[in-house]
Chains A and B, each alone.
Chain A
Amino acid sequence: MELKNAILELLRRAATDLPPDIEKALKEAHDREGEGTPARAVFKTILKNVELARKQSTPICQDTGSLIFYIDFPVGDTEEKYRKAIEEAAIEATKKQYLRPNAVNPITGKNSGTNVGINHPYIHFHQWDKDEVRIRLLLKGGGSENVGTQYKLPDSSLGAGRDLKGIRKVIIDAVLKAQGKGCSPGTIGVGIGGDRVTSYILSKEQFFRKIGERHPEKDIAELEKALYDDLNKLGIGPMGFGGKTTVLDVFIDYQHRHPATFFVAISYNCWAFRRKALAIKNGEVSYDD
């Protein structure tokens, strides 16, 4: 039962308490916009909403997203134990209105009403050598998920080849096409290489990084910084009203690819970037962002 309660609290925190690095980036974005502009008004509303949600313990956004769990667990534990606790916690969190029921059967159109369904919540298991548990959670909204996309290089319509220059081009194209529709300013996760599936997975995993956390390799870190500057020149701004901040950060990573393929997957996270983690060590539960 204790595990279920710890996960319930993790869900509550994720839905109602925006991580400090995201809030700080939004505050800085607010300060950059001129007095009396719609962009500044939007940031003001966003920041007020973040504060209210935290105080009232109600969802920041009514779309409490898809539940994406990453679990690292010690040898000897069963996956089943975690799956059961997550499902019970999701059901209870939905009853308590921390979560909106967001699991819909695509064939019948029926909403399960509990956030539990086939492969929902999504759980990624990883066994490690440590004698402790780490559970990381993303609540990923549907509007921003709809603007995510995948490119196959070379892409002749964009003149994008199989190199860093080509990668840069498709990322600019993806953010241009998203406009304000993913609830900008967004955070961009990019997965280079792998196959159709793993490139998307890698792009999503970037959302466990914190704002300003650069890739350890210099070339990639520089591309991230250059793209942050370029994408903010697009002028799309918050909600697509026009403004100085279109993205909060760009996170890129890569993996080896098949010689014949070159995929670049781009995931978009809305400004309501909901990410939380918990650790269990010696029976003690602690939370982090």
Chain B
Amino acid sequence: MTIKLKTPISEEDIRKLKVGDEVLLSGIIVTARDQAHKLMVEEKPDFIRDYLKESVIYHCGPVVRKNEDGSWSFVSAGPTTSIREEPYQADVICEYNVRGVIGKGGMGKKTLDGFKRCGAVYFHAVGGAGTLIANTVKRVVDVLKLEEFGTPEAFWVIEVEDFPLVVTMDSHGNSIHEEVLEKSTEVAKELLNK
């Protein structure tokens, strides 16, 4: 069964989610990659605070188009590899009261502990589904640090509708990534002994 969620999301609602749940996410979310995470941990800027409160961070470096009227459109916007933000993610979530992270590949123990402590989950997007995800972006609300960070690394504040996701790490300490790694390692051991 698919669960529909809209930001802002309460802690109570996020704690109801468990690994394997399919979610269609709507509302305002914020893209952030390596430079943005480093900045949020080192300088804790306030300019992004209201956008992030009870919202979701999206690990994404989009292809964007500037329209003639000066507005922006997302052309292709799939997830990027999340594990690069592992040193920062838990701190960012707790500092800014973020309810979830969208990315690909999953994250590590430090982030999983952060999810448990502060009430957040990992939403896995389909890597490579750039066009489909860009089509769920209804409008670009704001862009911050564009000059300094460049297109892929800027904070893009976007409104999405029915962004398809799967919860692969929840706020109760479960991770599909850990489960699959354990199981596949067992199978590999058998195969290697053949």
On A, residues with C-beta under 8 Å from B are 38, 41-42, 45-46, 48-49, 52-53, 56, 58-64, 97, 100-101, 111, 141, 143, 146, 158-159, 169, 172-173, 176, 179-181, 183, 230, 233-242, 270-272
Contacts and interface: CB of A to CB of B under 8 A. Distances in A.
Contacts of B185: 176
Interface string B124-147: 101111111111000000000000
Given A41-B164, A61-B129, 16 more contacts: A46-B128, A49-B129, A60-B130, A61-B76, A61-B127, A61-B128, A62-B77, A62-B78, A64-B63, A172-B192, A173-B192, A179-B105, A180-B177, A181-B105, A234-B191, A239-B126
B179 A242 contact: yes
Given A38-B166, A176-B188, A270-B128, A58 B20 contact: no
Given A48-B132, A172-B188, A179 B180 contact: yes
B75 interface: yes
Nearest to B177: A240
Contact of B130 (A42, A61, A101, A146): A61
B184 interface: yes
Given A45-B126, A59-B131, A62-B62, A241 B176 contact: yes
Contacts of B91: none
B128 A240 contact: no
28 contacts: A38-B22, A45-B164, A49-B129, A52-B131, A52-B132, A58-B75, A59-B63, A59-B130, A60-B76, A60-B131, A62-B61, A62-B75, A63-B78, A64-B63, A97-B65, A143-B105, A143-B127, A158-B192, A172-B191, A173-B188, A176-B184, A180-B104, A180-B177, A183-B127, A235-B183, A235-B184, A239-B104, A270-B127
Interface in B92-129: 104-106, 124, 126-129
Interface residues of B, number: 46
B103 to A, nearest CB: 11
Nearest to A15: B76
Nearest to A240: B180
A111 B151 CA distance: 10
Most buried by A among B20, B132, B133: B132
Contacts of B22: 38, 41
B166 A53 contact: no
B81 A181 contact: yes
Nearest to B105: A181
Nearest to B61: A62
Contacts of B65: 97
B87 interface: no
A235 B59 CA distance: 26
A179 B168 CA distance: 14
Contacts of B78: 61-63
Contacts of B184: 176, 179, 234-236
Contacts of A176: 184-185, 188
Contact of A49 (B60, B80, B130, B188): B130
Contacts of A45: 126, 129, 132, 164
A158 B124 CA distance: 32
A179 B187 CA distance: 13
Interface string B167-185: 0100000001101110111
B164 A62 contact: no
A232 to B, nearest CB: 10
A100 B77 CA distance: 11
Contacts of B132: 45, 48-49, 52-53
Contact of A236 (B62, B135, B180): B180
A50 to B, nearest CB: 9
Contact of A59 (B75, B168, B179): B75
Nearest to B77: A62
